[in-house]
Each structure stands twice: as structure tokens, then as C-alpha cells.
Amino acid sequence: MKMVARVLIVEDNAANLELMSYLLEAFGYKTTHARNGREALEIMARDLPDLVLCDIQMPEVDGFEVVRQAKSSEAMRKIVMVAVTAFAMVGDREKMLAAGFDGYISKPIQPEQFIPQIEAYLPVEQRSKVFRSEETQVGTEPLPFHGKVILIVDNMQTHLDLACSIFEYGGYTVLTARNPERALELCKDTTPCLIMSDVCMPQSNGYDLITAVKSDPKLKDVPFIFLTSTAQTEAERRKGLELGAVKYIFRPIEPDDLLAEVEACLKS
């Protein structure tokens, strides 16, 4: 039985590399990294990954040379290679395929679409099992939309992107806010079924937000969860629960565990 795919990310931009790694690893994929084409070819020859996500514009050895050498190698030619690039000119996709790439994903990466995009190039047995059992796995389709809205509040865009990937995949509509003030504005138009917030944010914080939420008659019964990687003392946890949070969760947490925590709150 094959395991989940091993993915090599070839990317010289640190932010792009971090985002792709974060999303892939959150969905259970094993990743390795290369910051240039020469290093990528060494890793490919040694490890024979299942999938390579390759930037095009890199110093010394660019993506076109990487795919040319890989596809001319008896050992590496069967590795699935997908170009990930900011090129957006007419004909660029055809150029990528003609060079030997098996597919093409454009930048900037769209976190909510990224996992389904890469899974389109993988056999079913190598796709992520997160949120899908062997009996219910049906390609790359998310679970059916069930009309529930979750509000995520966090000043880190990477955290918001990952939350969107997790909960939209689970069938929820996700609203995001970078601060408590924006979160309260969103709640004027839409009452979410659940609010999940970080604790430490610039200017305001999650404790201020939950205080405002619990004092609002329209929102006071909405389940509120704290999710934090910084305020992780027992005193902080007690404070959050005393203010009315139903759960106080420490990062890191596996995506399927986080989804289960939310679903438990909504069923109670």
C-alpha cells in the first residue's frame, strides 16, 4: 500500500516556500525543500520524490533546465513535475508543458485551492487522508456545503489561510478578520455559528473580543474558541475559559483534530 506522496518544493522565495510547506504538511504530506535548481536535481536523483513543485525563475539552474535534466534521466523521468510560477503571459502554460512539466500552477498561491490543485496530479492512494476515510474518499472534492459560517480572527495571514483551507474543506463558509474590531464589524451583518480567535494581537486582543461578544445579546450564545501559539500558560487558559470560551486550544494542532474540536462544539 502506497503512503501519502513525498513532495519536493523547489523555490528560492522564502515566503512562498513557507506557505507551500505549511499547507502541504498540514494535510499530511512529507516535504523536502530546495532553494535552487542544482540542489533540486541532487535531491531528485537521491530521493526520487513522488511530486516536484518547481519554480521557474531561479539563479544558476532555472526550472526549465531542472525539468530538462530530470526528464532525460532514466531514473527521474517518471517523477511528476509541476511548474509553480508567476509567469502569466499568453502561451506560458503551453511553454511549460512543452518543456516537460506535467502541469502548471500560477502564483500567487491560493491556499484554499492549493491542495486540490496538487492532488489532481497524484494517484488516489497518494493523496492526503485528512478529513477523508478510505470509504468516503472521492478525488479532491470538499465535503458538501452545509451553510454554517465560522469567523476566524488572527493577525497572521498564514494562520487565516490555513484555517480557510481546513474549514472550507470541511464544508463551512469562513469569514476572516485580522483584528477584533474587524471581527465585530463582520458580526453586524452575519451571525457566525462559531468564533475562533487568537489571543495576542496588536493593539487589541482576544480577551477584549470575547468580552464584547458575550456582552452582545445577538452573539452571546455563539460558541467561542481560543487558538493560540503564544498565550499557553495555565493562567491564560483559565482566564479564557472564565471569560466564556468553550475551548482554549494550543498550537500546533493537527488539522483533522482542529476540525473535530469545532464539530464537537457545534454538536453540544
pLDDT over threshold 60, residue 200: yes
pLDDT at 68: 95
Rounded average pLDDT over 181-198: 94
Q: For residue 167, what pLDDT is reported?
A: 86
Residue holding cell 515566503?
15
Q: Chain-wide mean pLDDT for the chain?
A: 86
Q: Rounded mean pLDDT of 186-199?
A: 94
Specify the pLDDT at position 130: 58
Q: Is the pLDDT of residue 129 over 60?
A: yes
pLDDT of residue 132: 45
Q: Please write the tens of the pLDDT for every residue from 116-128.
A: 888 888 888 888 8
More confident site: 225 or 147: 225
Note the pLDDT of residue 145. Answer: 46
- For the cut 50, the answer to whether the pLDDT of residue 1 exceeds it is no
Q: Residue 199's pLDDT band (boundaries 50, 70, 90)? A: very high
Percentage of the chain beyond pLDDT 70 is 90
Q: What is this structure's pTM?
A: 0.54
Q: Per residue in 124-136, is it b (16+ CB within 10 Å) or e — as a string?
A: eebbbebbbeeee
Highest mean pLDDT among 47-56, 141-150, 225-234: 47-56
254-266 confidence digits (pLDDT tens): 788 898 999 999 9
Residues 6+ apart with CB under 8 A from 57: 63, 85, 86
Lowest-confidence segment of 2-11, 43-52, 124-133, 250-259 by average pLDDT: 124-133
63-107 residue pLDDT tens:
999 999 999 999 999 999 999 987 656 567 778 888 999 988 888
State pLDDT tens for residues 134-153.
Answer: 333 333 444 444 568 999 99
